[in-house]
Structure 1
Amino acid sequence: MLVANFIAYLSCNGYAAATARSYISALNFKCKSESLSDFSQSFIITKLLEGFCRSNNRPDSRLPITLDILGRIIAVLPLVCTSNYEATLFSAACSLAFHAFLRVGEFTLAKGNSPTSVLSFSDISLSPDNLVLCIRSSKTDQHGKGASIILSRTDTPSCPLKWLREFLDVRPVFPGPLFCHFDGTPLTRYQFSTITSRAISGLGLNASRYKTHSFRIGAATTAACNGVSSDVIQAADTPTIWLFGSSLVKRAFFSLKTQSEDLNLGLRATLWWQGYSGMTMKRARKRLRHLAAVGETPQVILVHCGANDLGVHPLRQTLRDTVAVYNFLSTRFPNATLIWSNAIPREALSFANNKKALEKARCRLNRHATKTFTQTGTTLSHPQFSSKKPNLFISDGVHLSFEGNQLFCQNIKRALATALNQ
């Protein structure tokens, strides 16, 4: 009854549903560690949390590009593009993005990526009635196992077979990316986003409400209207999660990869691991701006950063930088769930003479960041690292051992599952 009252208190005081789930998960972890009963599976508790989540849902501001809008976009492209070739190129790209549930990064080139990472000319097989695409790798297939997508001919103006055939009839014979300009240079993400935005504006629609991901949203909406089960749709359209932070995030990723474990942590989501050695809150905003320009729009963003600032930069500056990072993310991605991952204690720091003062600064950073991020998001604690356990660290006393990485990833998975209601 006490836990139920606590959930009601959180709801009445404007806390986010993800925050409530995180608090309950932390309480339940403590109970289980003390060999007490698991109350999280109680019927009353689960229903209270479900109701809390439903009452706090924030609508996605992005609108779907429906089959009708897709046809209208293709019709207006000749007025937007500079040549018939370009109009055919973008018509084929838009049609394929919609009908194949493609992510924009799977068929357009982003800055810094290799041309071999996108759909290539050799990855397609076209027959009179079918089109087979070989997706060699994607964000949900970071090991590059590959997958095939089969599309059939349709009687709609946006038929992917029709437009791809028309494009291939005029495309120069160049190896490499399938979608390229007449001089052979690959179609970029920026170009695709810009031209489709202009076409949408030309239709009299609010282009700010339609993003490149709107093709996938529209495809999922159309599939649902046609009776396709939610499991099939979810398999095609999984949420994107950013894991941003310091070398702890980077090393956790490589630990999973070395052990050939699931880089998505068993979640129905695509995890984009963005860990950087020496990353600080002072540099985080600049890096996040770059990621926002090249990455898929995330539904969840987890930030694990700040420990490298302690003892190097003034604490007040670090706290201001933390707020600046939150403000940037909440403004740039208003529909994303933001998660602050608490900086964990460190066993050793070569430059820190006063370990007590450093620990005090770490606790203050976590309190300040928690207060900031829980305005719209939630926070993730790492209780296993609260007491000194040398076996969780390697010899430098900073980075995590194999066991430490396992616990770190388990904590991340728990927080993400809560945010995704999985």
Structure 2
Amino acid sequence: MNQTPSTTSSQLPSIQEEEALRQYLQAATAHNTRRAYRSAIRQFEKWGGRLPTNSDVLVRYLLANAARLNSRSLTLHVTAISQWHRYQELSDPAQSPLVRKTLEGIRRQHGRPKHKAKALRLEHIAAMAKHLQSSDTPSLKQQRDLALILSGFFGAFRRSELVSIQVEDLHWEPEGLIIRLPRSKTDQHGAGISRALPSGQPGACPCAAIRQWLDSSDIQRGPLFRPINRWGQIKDKAMPVGAINDLLKQLGLALNFDFVPDLSSHSLRRGLSTSAARANIDFELIKKQGGWKSDATVWEYIEEGRQLEDNAATPLMQEMSKWMSDTSG
């Protein structure tokens, strides 16, 4: 006689299995994404929403915040609420045609261009490097900042990548330095990425700047770029990511740049790509150095860097100038 198998204690997940499952599920979503989702849900709840919710409440939330929040922020909020319901295996209110139509209408009516960080040009990086090397005896902070600025620009690093570099990630070669990171924003599965920094001319060489910083700081392992307090003491931990934005703005103010509000850590990464485009460096080399996965992103940077050089108006203005010269004679 067949019997339906009953659930025994051995078939129930143990505490260790539940903890392992929780960790794997958490690892399936990037940390920054989880943080953004949590913030979005907190804002929804602060408005008066409760989870689980329904499409009528979600539409009311969109209407209440359409003029106040950027449409990209509202899209993120809807995605966060959608993911919460899916994770709980509940009906997803974000899939309602009314919610989707409302959000599309908000994008069309209130959409604003995405703010872009100012792309630093070579002359800006040169001015920063000269400023940091102006002293006969550069401080530890000046040496660290020089190594960080040159590495961030020529390596086209994201800020999260810069602060995560460990001394153990540095692999020195006769021709320069290879930095191998075990993980990055676009490498969530841990395949690892590499950035090559060739040796350059004195004053403009990230390899020499890193060497000098390591020698002066006596850092032998662990985070490469670390906080330094007002007394010149180096901390054991890595710099916070926000410190790079602060550093660039401080340097911009010191050098009287007129675009300080538009400076951020992304100014280094965008600066390398647009500067390389202006120098007519090959597309594949630009893509490789920045580790970009999308050709479209690289082309966007190239077009931005060469929008004045590769311009249909230039030959027309030259032709017009000749025509005016001929007729004036």
**TM-score w.r.t. length of structure 2:** 0.48
> Which has more strand, going by share of residues?
1
The structure whose residues are more often helix, as a share, is 2
Give the TM-score normalised by the residue count of structure 1: 0.38
User: Larger C-alpha radius of gyration, 1 or 2?
Assistant: 2
